Chain A
Amino acid sequence: MSAETVDLTLLRQFLLRARNADGGWGYQAGKASRLEPTCWAILALGSTLERGALKQWPCAEGLLLERHGAAPNYAFHGQALIVLRALHLEHAAGNRTLLAALQRVKGTRLAASDINRQDNSLQAWSWIDGTFSWVEPTAWCLLAQKQWSAVPGAVGDRTRIVVAEQMLVDRCCAKGGWNYGNANMLGQDLRPFVPTTALALLSLQDRTSLPEVARSVAFLEREATSERSGTALALALMALRAYGRSTAAVRDALIAQLPTTLGLGKIASAAMSLYALSEAGRHAAVVL
């Protein structure tokens, strides 16, 4: 099946069937609603859907909770802000409140260390409170921060953007691309991966002059189809498009992957795939 004629009905039906009575989605059908799959499903299914679940998602001190009764996960909070902006939704607590909370939280500071070559003074975003900064939460939160900086009236903190960019540049692997964490450990260079690279590139798409970005785009062009999963391929597709690169091969690979994604029942991955394959809007949610 060619990328141009792919019928996305199955994906939409899968997501609609998996929706919980509370309007949210779990990571698998029948599981409790969680923030990440709910964000992606709402984004992928588009404007015809009632989206109260996200607008009313529970939060504490301006931070969206990972699920009812749980603590916040900053990466997912960043994703939610991206979706709220893309769909022009207003959270019950106020989007400005959510944005201010995003700017308030940061990863734990580490002292200098000799076990890896990196700048431990850079405090970007961690997954959860009290832990270190990592590539994925930093990239999601950085992307959200940049997008909201362009919204009239939204509060922005330029310092957080600068530090997060420095952190990502610092963690870039020697030959381009990003691991999920460190670029090296105990004297060994660590490997870059496709989804983390695609995500970091999305958050740095306004910094194309950086050599780390150029090397990483080259890595992604080379390796985009080497990691077969809905999530990896969807992120790669969106990142390559954002950088104006050819997406034909990765689209075909993503379409070929759909039966596996659906077979495993992975809702966030399916929703991300649907969004990446949908032409309408040209991935506006993740494009700067």
Chain B
Amino acid sequence: MQRLSCKERAQDGRLSRREFVAALAVPIVAGACNRRPYRGGDFSLPERSVVELLPASSYDADFGDLIGRGLRDLGVSVQGRRVLLKPNMVEYEPGTAINTNPLVVAGAIAAFQRAGAAEVIVAEGPGHRRDTEYLLTRTGLHDHLCDHGVRFVDLNEDDVEYVPLRSNFTKLDRLALPVSVLRSDFVVSMPKLKTHHWAGMTAAMKNFFGTVPGAVYGWPKNVLHMHGIHNSILDLNATIQPRLAIVDAVTAMEGDGPIMGRPRHTGFIAMSQDVVAADATCCRVIGLDPERLPYLAEARHFLGNIDPHRIEQRGERIDRYAAEFDVVDAIKSYRLTR
């Protein structure tokens, strides 16, 4: 029997969304058996990765001070660099934990400006709602941007360049990416920590779906789903090469994330120059096993560390925040066995 690809079966009408999602990990498994779709020499795994957990019991914290402390502890230098902050801004609904809190973004702006960045910009291309004018004003982020004199770039509508993918799990070969991302010296992933009903968890790595321009690929960026969520996460991170993760886990989301879940207080900010290690740590905090999340299990081979022996935990201990987040049935197999 002829074996059809996921995309071919979808176009043929024989693939349900659930089958689609179930199929997402297959190419990664195949990749593990065969030659991996990247040149090993293009990547170098850090011997050890530092992940810092900074306590923030509420959004009343001084995030400029807290993130500034994190930058110093991690030895991050942005003097004279163009810094692009990529928060997660999806939809707005009062009382939910969908988006990176604007106070955390504002704190990061202040910290990077104090650290001597030549320019700080905030950029996002929401995957669902096109209307960033509404999202910016309703979330309150617009006021913070005005206060700090920082411009916002709508990545869905930015000028784009086609760039070759540095890994090719999706088999897309190249992708249109916003010039604001490509021309930044220092891309910072600033996600909200959430469970994700397809990917397992969304944090620093999944956040880069928001860099894929909607005007080119449509909403909700179906192309990425059709080529595999996990594959897309890997290719985006390999190509963009983010320099830092600052994860808003003051209030996270559990249950049917990334939109319909419930807020869950967690009380910390996670920072790391290794986005893979940041995600692996967040995974463990919320009770998921990073080795069971396909994108993290593959990322460990070329993008960053997930092995706890290769992650140096600074600041607060994981135990302080460890919890078993409620998750939908589809991702219960990702749970950590404590």
Contact = CB atoms under 8 A, between A and B. Distances in A.
A34 B178 CA distance: 14
A115 B131 contact: no
Contacts of B136: 264
A232 B16 contact: no
Residue from A66, A181, A268 having most chain B Cβ neighbours under 10 A: A66
A60 to B, nearest CB: 15
Contacts of B15: 110-111
A269 B218 contact: no
B137 interface: yes
Interface of A: 26-28, 31-32, 34, 36, 66, 70-71, 73, 75-76, 108-116, 120-121, 126-128, 130-132, 134, 136-137, 180-181, 185-186, 188, 190-191, 193, 195, 227-232, 260-261, 263-264, 266, 268-269
Interface of B: 7, 10-19, 91, 93, 128-131, 133-134, 136-138, 142, 146, 152, 154, 157-159, 176, 197, 214-220, 222-223, 226, 256, 260, 328
B134 A66 contact: no
A227 B134 contact: yes
Contacts of B226: 130-131
Contact of B158 (A31, A36, A73, A228): A31
Given A28-B157, A260-B137, A128 B223 contact: yes
Contacts of B220: 180-181
A131 B131 contact: no
A86 B21 CA distance: 43
A185 to B, nearest CB: 7
Contact of A227 (B16, B128, B138): B138
A266 B133 contact: yes
B137 A228 contact: yes
B127 to A, nearest CB: 10
Nearest to A120: B16
A114 B223 CA distance: 22
Contacts of B10: 108, 110
A134 B133 contact: no
A71 B18 CA distance: 28
A115 B18 contact: yes
9 contacts: A110-B13, A131-B218, A180-B220, A186-B197, A195-B130, A231-B131, A232-B131, A266-B154, A268-B157
A121 B16 CA distance: 11
Contacts of A263: 146
Contacts of A108: 10-11, 13
A113 B133 contact: no
Q: Which 9 A-B pairs have the closest CB atoms?
A: A127-B218, A27-B157, A109-B13, A229-B133, A131-B222, A229-B134, A113-B16, A111-B16, A128-B218
A13 to B, nearest CB: 20
A127 B13 contact: no
Given A188-B260, A264-B136, A66 B216 contact: yes
B133 A70 contact: no
Contact of A134 (B129, B131, B159, B219): B219
B13 A232 contact: no
B17 A260 contact: no
A202 B55 CA distance: 49
B122 to A, nearest CB: 12
Contacts of B157: 27-28, 31, 34, 268
